[in-house]
Amino acid sequence: MNTLFKRKILHRAKYRGIKELDIIFERFINKFHLNLEDHEFLELEEILNLPDNLLLDIILKKEKIPANIDNTVMNKILLACDDQ
């Protein structure tokens, strides 16, 4: 997987449009970005394709995690939130 794709995904994660998500993803990136495997970047891209409000509700546990994003990266995002 090329570096440009990875940088674009990390940039998208940091600048979601909702400040709360920006903070959550910044924590996630600071904690895990150096250790993400190629397939995890693809998982992250799928998560980032969700609408902001739905994604925030999932992270705040107001909505169930859809099966298509119930993956390693989603668990790491939730872990980054719980660590604070």
The CATH number that domain 3-82 falls under is 1.10.150.250
**pTM (whole model) above 0.85:** yes
In the chain, where the domains are located: 3-82
Tens digit of each residue's pLDDT (9 = 90 or more) over 5-64 = 999 999 999 898 899 999 999 999 999 999 999 999 999 999 999 999 999 999 999 999
Cβ neighbours, 10 Å, residue 53: 11
